[in-house]
Amino acid sequence: MLGNKTAAIASLLKRDSLLKPEIESERNDLIIEGSLLTPWVREHGLSTVDPQRFEYTTGLVAEAFGVAKKPAMSDIYTDKFLPAQADRMMS
């Protein structure tokens, strides 16, 4: 999807021949620019978790489900299986 848009769209068309390549190309661009390449991702790389956002979100979930003790980030997330940050940087 990121490295070869033409191949990504060709893959979609194999799965659903009713799709229109020009529409899927626009949809691809919208997703990448609007959802994937956020300012955070551009600065920190793909799959880098924002600790403040993580804490806020887990707090909301813990409150919604009545969890007595909110889990720490280290209890449920690790980045040790990710490629090096330099390899996850997007332009």
Q: Mean per-residue pLDDT for 15-19?
A: 95
Average pLDDT of the residues of the chain: 93
* C-alpha angle 20-5-25 in degrees, rounded to nearest 5: 30
Quick one: pLDDT band at residue 2, thresholds 50, 70, 90?
Answer: confident
Burial grade of 9 (CB within 10 A; 0-12, 13-18, 19 or more): buried
Quick one: pLDDT band at residue 40, thresholds 50, 70, 90?
Answer: very high
- Between 43 and 1, the higher pLDDT residue: 43
88 pLDDT above the threshold of 70 = yes
- Give the whole-angstrom CA distance, residue 5 versus residue 25: 8
